Amino acid sequence: MRRYGKVNVRIGLGLVLCSVLGVGVAVAKVQVLPETTLLVEGKKLTGQKRLLGHPVVKELLASFERAETALRKEDMDALMKFYASTYDYHGLKETDVRRVWSEVFEHYKALESLHLFSDIKVVPVNNELRLEVTCTGGLYGTDERTENRITLDSWFREIHYLVKEDGVWRFLGNAGEVPTGAPFASAPHHPLF
């Protein structure tokens, strides 16, 4: 068990148990789990230390860290640089993401996310390289109205798709189905990370 501020995180074999205690702020976490594999150029690499030294993983972590820093600062322009120009999640485009983030920033403070990577694949698609990153994590914030610390979203083994634009990995979208119960105007936070 590791303690990060007010959040307890238990990590093992891809299982993540997070409990947010009180209204304090936890330290955000972007992590490559010990059991993570990297598939690149037909080769499967393992070993957390080895992966953390690989250029693709370093660049991936840097992209998520930049997004996390923008999230904590509520810097919309910096956060939107995380998204690819061709971002599309079941019809939600970059402008939709900006709108949803502005609503999140309006209603929640002390935002943070948790990203635990368990599988990373470099895949050639239409003459460009893409990443398929299996991630478990969540998006957390403090409700402005109630001052309660809440989970805005959580995901388990979701596949994030990224593409390299302007020398950095940018978010293209996620695998998964669109929730059927939410009206479009209340777009789920799930596509955001």
Tokens for 189? 């936070």
CATH class of the structural domain 25-192: alpha beta
What is the phi/psi pair of residue 24, to 5°? -70, 170
173 band by pLDDT with thresholds 50, 70 and 90: confident
- At 193 the pLDDT is 62
- CA 98 – CA 83 distance, rounded (Å): 10
Residue 159: count of CB within 10 angstroms of its CB: 16
179 band by pLDDT with thresholds 50, 70 and 90: very low
Of 47-56, 67-76, 141-150, 176-185, the least confident: 176-185
- 104, 74 in Cβ contact below 8 A? no
Angle made by CA atoms 120, 8, 149, in degrees to the nearest 5:
100
- At 92 the pLDDT is 84
Question: Does the pLDDT at position 8 exceed 70?
Answer: no
- CA 3 – CA 96 distance, rounded (Å): 35
Tens digits of per-residue pLDDT, 14-36?
223 333 333 333 444 899 999 99
- At 192 the pLDDT is 65
Tens digits of per-residue pLDDT, 114-125?
999 999 999 998
Q: Mapping DSSP to helix (H, G, I), strand (E, B) and coil, where does residue 55 land?
A: helix
